[in-house]
Amino acid sequence: MLKQKGLQTRERLLGAALAEFKRAGIAGADTTAIVAAAGVAHGTFFFHFPTKEHVLLELEKREQDRMAAELTRYFATAHSVHDTLAEAVRALETIERRLGRRLFKDFLALHFSTTRPPSEEWTNYPMAVAVVEELDRARRRGEIPTDVDVLHNGVSFLLGLYALLLTLPEAAEVRQPAIDEYLTTYGYGLRVISGSR
């Protein structure tokens, strides 16, 4: 019973934190407002989450799982290597709409944070796993040269994409051409690393 109550409290805190992060960003978020909205004592927040960044890490894990599931469903349909990369962009844009621009930028910035808890293996990032596995399947089908390191390329594609989305302005007339160019350039690079065209 206590375990279930603890999970419910944690979920309330996550919901309240999400609303506060959307409003103020992680740096400006007020833990007092979070605990008031969740209806818990101030110390309860820190029992569940040592820092606000830990809340964001929990949200990131959930979003990673959701993105990976969406990508896996998409990858079960016929598509090209370019479509694989473009679908990763679409998955991130869906998250951006769901979280709002401010929180989305905090979400992406986590990957470049020096205060993030020690980095885990790439395999702990379900979206990266989905993209790398799909690039590997494309390599086995002969769509990518056999000597291309799909692990390195998949992970670096995502990190570069995160950095691009962090720095691009919101204006679609600037953003979309930059994303299209990134996809084209990256897709081209996957084909030419071994010297084939």
pLDDT tens digit sequence for 110-169: 888 776 665 556 677 899 999 999 999 999 999 999 989 999 999 999 999 999 999 998
For residue 179 the two structure tokens come to 């994303």
116: three-class secondary structure by DSSP? coil
Mean pLDDT in the chain? Answer: 87
For residue 175 the two structure tokens come to 């953003």
Q: What is the DSSP string of 15-30?
A: HHHHHHHHHHHHHH--
- Model confidence over 91-102: pLDDT tens digits? 999 999 988 888
The answer to whether 31 and 50 are in contact (CB under 8 A) is: no
Quote the pLDDT of residue 197.
37
- Model confidence over 26-55: pLDDT tens digits? 889 999 999 999 999 989 999 999 988 889
For residue 33 the two structure tokens come to 């407002």
Q: What does the domain layout of the chain look like in residue ranges?
A: 1-49, 52-192
* Whole-Å CA distances, 110 to 45, 67, 73, 103: 20, 17, 26, 11
Quote the pLDDT of residue 187.
87
Angle, CA of 146, 156 and 117, to the nearest 5°? 130
Prediction pTM value? 0.83
- Whether 58 shows a pLDDT value over 80: the answer reads yes
Q: Which residues contact 25 (CB under 8 A, 6 or more apart)?
A: 102, 103, 105, 106
CATH value of 1-49 in 3.10.620, 3.40.50, 1.10.10, 1.10.3470? 1.10.10
